[in-house]
Structure 1
Amino acid sequence: MRTRASIVAVTGALAVAGLVAPTAVAVDGPGRDSAPRFAEKFDTSGKSGATARSAKAAAPVISSVVVNGGKPIVVGVSNKPVRATFKVTSPTGIGFSDAELWHGTTYTETTPFIPTDGIKNCTGTTATCTADFEIMPFLDLTNARAGKWNLAVGVIDGEFLEETAQVKAGSLTILRESRLTTNATPEPVKKNKILTVTGALRIANWSNQTFGGYGNHTVHLEYMKKGAKKYTRVKTLKTDKAGNVKTTIKATADGYWRYVYPGVSPVIAPKTSVADFVDVR
């Protein structure tokens, strides 16, 4: 059995005496090595929690976990906030709660992680708790870490006797941001003359914190005639090694041209460029 109060007291005493060294977290790439880990606060061995200390005691129940409204989040090279919510039911109240985003298939001490900035509204016997995070690309992300992240949630009851820890309580897909442009020339253009449509695809490179050009990515050229309500796919092209694309087409009527990038699921976000209107005379 796990006595919460005893663990906290003993650990605190040893830390004051200088007998407990901080846990070293070695990860492949950047990381928040100095932040306290979820595993240092909760039992993540997969067990359901400590045994009840009395007939009235019961482990907290975690449910209704939602991260970022259930949607993927697109991240470039700037910090991005994200919020998770979860419901807790605990007969003796809530003594402590925490959450952590982590990347990988198995939770270990070397798993890349993002700690919460704090838990809010997590009091009483029934609560809908809020956990806020700040994704910092230069610390948290590499290109290999795009895709699914897991959310760990832990709660200790009001008497500090029972805990519930779920290392895969929820999940979040983190996508690399993509940027795309379209430029059709000349403008205006004579009817039935050749129109050149260029574009540039740039994708967030978390490994060096820049937006870079990538070759061999598929983009679609779309056109919508003036007065119409729907775009039509005209061509499918591949970017060159610099991430650029270029094609020619006959101009027949006034209209809007744009490139569309479908992205790469589940790691790179799709993107539709701003349309370029061409006046055909």
Structure 2
Amino acid sequence: MRIRATVAAVTGALALSALAVPAAQAADVSGVSGADYREAVAKIRQAAHTPSGATAFSTKAAQDEPYALDASFSNFKIAKAVKVGATGHYSTTVTYTLTHGADVDITAQDFLTGPYLYRGAFATPDTTLFGVKPATCTTATATTATCTGKIDIYPGEGDLLNTDAGTWKGAALAIAYNGQDPAGENFDITKVGYADQGDLGTTLVQRGSKLTVNASPEPVKKDATLTITGKLTRANWETGTYVGLPSGQKVVLQFRKAGTTNYTNVKGIQTAAGGALKTTVKASVDGYWRFTYAGITSTAPATVAGDYVDVY
């Protein structure tokens, strides 16, 4: 679900205190009458920020905005990269510390918190990625808790455009519905508390990539020429397919001698049009040939399983 504002999550780990006591967190959106979590938080977030980029909400809410909740976020842990294929479901885990005022009841059934990712300005992002469920938290002190949440991505459902590949910023939010039903006819947003914070970290959301390899002829006579071909492709999030990368991508040919465990670099080559790969080597001993790709900012690394060649 793309809300040109949709949420994604990331990986990391926070050490929990041995004395921490689990806080009752809504594991789904039952605490807000079954409303879709992503749609619900996107609605509150949008109402809390003005188009100018300034935070609109305050301790005294206007008619169409939530009031400022006494909460902040820190220790945001996120994976360095999130690799997303052409279709399917991808998720990554985020951990962070939630600090809140003594008057904020994070154990309430309709209190929600969660991580998200965004691109562009924090108050008016180009797009966002959220999880499909709120985070779960464990209380550490009377006013702090350690929280774990996921960011879920469904490329086949329009969560990402190809131009979204690259660096995203991490953020977290908290919502206290205070008994208000976001799906109800009498929903009063001014009675809802909201807090969010951006620039908590960064991650790469990358287009997944694939490599193929084929060495021929098989078997091959010793000292004869061996031709190794393959193709480098990456996910096209807009069509749900894998397509060849532009020419000039750097790929390394590697070899592993039969009976050994480590691959060694043989030569570097570049892709031709459509991601095509082709090179030649002299056959010397039995072993496995493969290509490996280090990746670029927009595209994840990839390594293909070796193709065995018998040399006689």
1:94 Cα offset (Å): 3.7
Aligned to 2:218: 187
1:158 Cα offset (Å): 10
Aligned to 2:11: none
Alpha-carbon distance in structure 1 between the residues aligned to 2:44 and 2:199: 12
1:147 to 166, 184, 192: 166
**Bigger RCO of structures 1 and 2 (CA < 8 A, at least 6 apart):** 2
* RMSD over equivalenced CA pairs, Å: 3.2
Aligned to 2:121: 106
1:225 to 253, 257, 274: 257
Question: Is 2:89 the partner of 1:77?
Answer: no
SS of match in other structure, 1:242: helix
Equivalent pair of 2:220/2:309 in contact (CA under 8 Å) = yes
Equivalent pair of 1:39/1:109 in contact (CA under 8 Å) = no
Question: Is 2:233 the partner of 1:202?
Answer: yes
| Superposed CA offset, 1:227-258 (max 9, x none) | 44433222221212121111121111112211
- Give TM-score scaled by structure 1 length: 0.74
Equivalent pair of 1:94/1:155 in contact (CA under 8 Å) = no
Amino acid at match of 2:276: N
Equivalent pair of 1:219/1:237 in contact (CA under 8 Å) = yes
Aligned to 1:89: 99
- Give TM-score scaled by structure 2 length: 0.67
Alpha-carbon distance in structure 1 between the residues aligned to 2:172 and 2:4: 22
Alpha-carbon distance in structure 2 between the residues aligned to 1:182 and 1:120: 42
Q: How many matched pairs?
A: 244
Alpha-carbon distance in structure 2 between the residues aligned to 1:198 and 1:94: 61
Equivalent pair of 1:258/1:275 in contact (CA under 8 Å) = yes
Aligned to 2:16: none
| Superposed CA offset, 1:58-89 (max 9, x none) | 9334222123xx23111111221222222213
Alpha-carbon distance in structure 2 between the residues aligned to 1:38 and 1:203: 35
Amino acid at match of 2:173: G
Equivalent pair of 2:291/2:304 in contact (CA under 8 Å) = yes
SS of match in other structure, 2:45: helix
After TM superposition, the structure 1 stretch with the greater mean CA deviation from structure 2, 229-238 or 144-153, is 229-238
Alpha-carbon distance in structure 1 between the residues aligned to 2:113 and 2:47: 8
Aligned to 1:39: 45
1:142 Cα offset (Å): 1.5
The percentage of aligned residue pairs carrying the same residue is 33
Alpha-carbon distance in structure 1 between the residues aligned to 2:82 and 2:251: 22
Alpha-carbon distance in structure 2 between the residues aligned to 1:50 and 1:226: 68
- Unaligned runs of at least 5 residues, structure 2: 6-37, 61-68, 179-190
Amino acid at match of 2:86: V
Q: 1:227 to 1:26 in 2, by over 3 A?
A: closer
1:196 Cα offset (Å): 1.1
SS of match in other structure, 1:40: helix
1:262 Cα offset (Å): 1.6
1:149 Cα offset (Å): 1.6
Amino acid at match of 2:258: K
